Structure formats: C-alpha cells, structure tokens
Structure 1
C-alpha cells in the first residue's frame, strides 16, 4: 500500500492511495483537518479500535474513508460523495483494499515523513495554510512502534 500527499495549491492537496490492484486520487481542502484526522484515525486503529472514519472536504465533493479493523487486518473503503453530509450509501466506492494494520500504519507514516522532507515547515504552512501535523504523526509512529514491539514478544 502506498499513500502520496501532494500540496497542489494554497489550501489544496491531492492524495493518491494505491495497492497492487488499484489506485485512486482524492482531493482535500484545508477547510477540514484532513491530515490530522487521517493520522489520528490510523493511530486509533493501531491501538485497537475496530472502526475509524475520515472525511476529506473537496468543496463540494467529499471523500470519506471508512476503515474497519479485525484482528491484524484493516479493510479500507474510500467513497466519493457529491455532498459530504449524505449517508455512505449515497457515495460511490472509488477504492478499497484489505491490508495488515502494520502496512497501513507504515504507509501513512512514510507518506507524512515524505511530506515533511519535501516541503519543510514553512513550505507546508505556506501551501496548506496550517501547521504540519507533528503531534498526530508522532502519536501514530509511537502507537505503531509500540504495537510492533508487542507483536514481537
């Protein structure tokens, strides 16, 4: 699984999510806390929660990520909705995958590590309009490392 976050303009990001079978591109606007929400959702799954949801606002389109964990597996569905206030059933699934929790955590951590290297603090803030989500990235990294150590014992 791979995730790529590209700042495409002031307050806009394109996010490409892919696995060995398919790829999808979603858009996020700074009107929501998309990066923080995605990092937090994955951290919650790593620490044992069974379901997490994230919504990227693309004004007026929305992209809803629905993540379910069972054991060490995570099922990810990404829906595109013409109106973000609508029920999941109103959306069109544009990508889905089953991955291990470690694969998902690693992909998201690597993605945001790459973002930090590519843009730097001021570049990220200048393009996105908000601070880089350090605390959320580090919380995910810590949860992932802790769960990995627990699995190894």
Structure 2
C-alpha cells in the first residue's frame, strides 16, 4: 500500500493524524497548541520546491511527535520521533527521543497525501467550522491555494 496520511478534527482544539506505512499504522494526537496542519502544508510545499528536508511537529499534552522528512537517493525518507515533552519549545533535549518508525516514500506521494487532507478538511468543515473546532488558528486557505497551484518549474509548455 505504501505511505498514507489522514488528519481529522476530533473536538474542540484536538485533531488526530494517522500515518500508515503498509500494514503499520501510527496514531498521532494533535493539540491546538501548534498549527500542525499548516506545518504539514509548508513541508509539502517546500519539498515539492526542492527542499532537502522538513520537520512537522504534532504537539500532545504533554509530549510531541516530530515527523522528520529528508530527500535521499531512494526517495523521501521519514522518521517519527516521540519526545516526552515539548522539544520544539526548548523544553526537552534534542537527543532524548524514541524513534517510533522509519520509512521511505516519494515527494509526490507525500505531497498528494497532504493536499488530499487539506481538501477533505475544507469540504468536511468549511473555514468557519474549522475555526470553531480548532480555536487557535483558522483554516490555512492561503496555503491550500499555493498547494493547488503548480510551480512554474512543474508546468509544461503552454500551461
């Protein structure tokens, strides 16, 4: 099956992300304390644009999962790291984590999965419904527009 991603709003200020790699599934609790959806979109955009790496933080209360993405000869390597406290806020050492899973996908696959989840969240909740459930930040419509548009380097002649 390969790499897949889901991202669903669960309630006031909470979301659930899931990364699936073949038969292995990893559920990730997401708190409103960090805008993980926007960070997923920014990572997808950056990697599609040629960035060599990106990081996405999924804050829990307490702790966090970090999704580290690195371009390699084999595609796009990724690692899920669990930190017992908020490493991204400087409250936990960089070298004190548990590596939960490592895998490989491709930039187009990762990008497609992120775009699919952006579209699904907007269709399911709308901008206003998203804001009501998420509280801290609104739906990143500006970023969705950027994800929908092909960069000039990806456009063919006459497009």
Match of 1:132 in 2: 139
| Greater RCO (Cα-Cα under 8 Å, separation 6 or more) | 1
What's the TM-score, normalizing by structure 1?
0.87
Structure 1 runs (4+) greater than 6 angstroms displaced: none
Cα distance in 2, alignment partners of residues 37 and 87 from structure 1 = 21
Counterpart in the other structure of 2:31: 29
Decide whether aligned partners of structure 1 residues 93 and 134 sit closer, same or farther in structure 2, where only a CA change above 3 A counts: same
CA deviation string 1:15-59 (max 9, x = no partner): 011122421011111111111111101211111111111211112
SS in 1 for 2:58: strand
Q: Is the 8 A contact 1:46 1:147 kept in 2?
A: no
> Take 1:147 and 1:29, find their aligned partners in 2: how far apart are those partners?
36
Secondary structure of residue in 1 paired with 2:149: helix
Give 1:115's aligned residue.
Answer: 121
For residue 65 of structure 1, the aligned residue among 63, 67, 71 is 67
Kindly indicate which of the two structures has a greater share of residues assigned to helix. Answer: 1
Q: How many residues align?
A: 149
Q: In structure 2, what is the Cα distance between the partners aligned to 1:123 and 1:148?
A: 33
Mean CA deviation greater in 17-26 or 89-98: 89-98
Structure 2: runs of 5 or more not aligned: none
Identify if the C-alpha distance between structure 1 residues 138 and 88 changes in structure 2 by more than 3 Å, giving closer, same or farther.
Answer: farther
Aligned to 1:41, the other structure's residue is in SS state helix
Structure-2 residue corresponding to 1:7: 9
Root mean square deviation of aligned Cα:
1.9
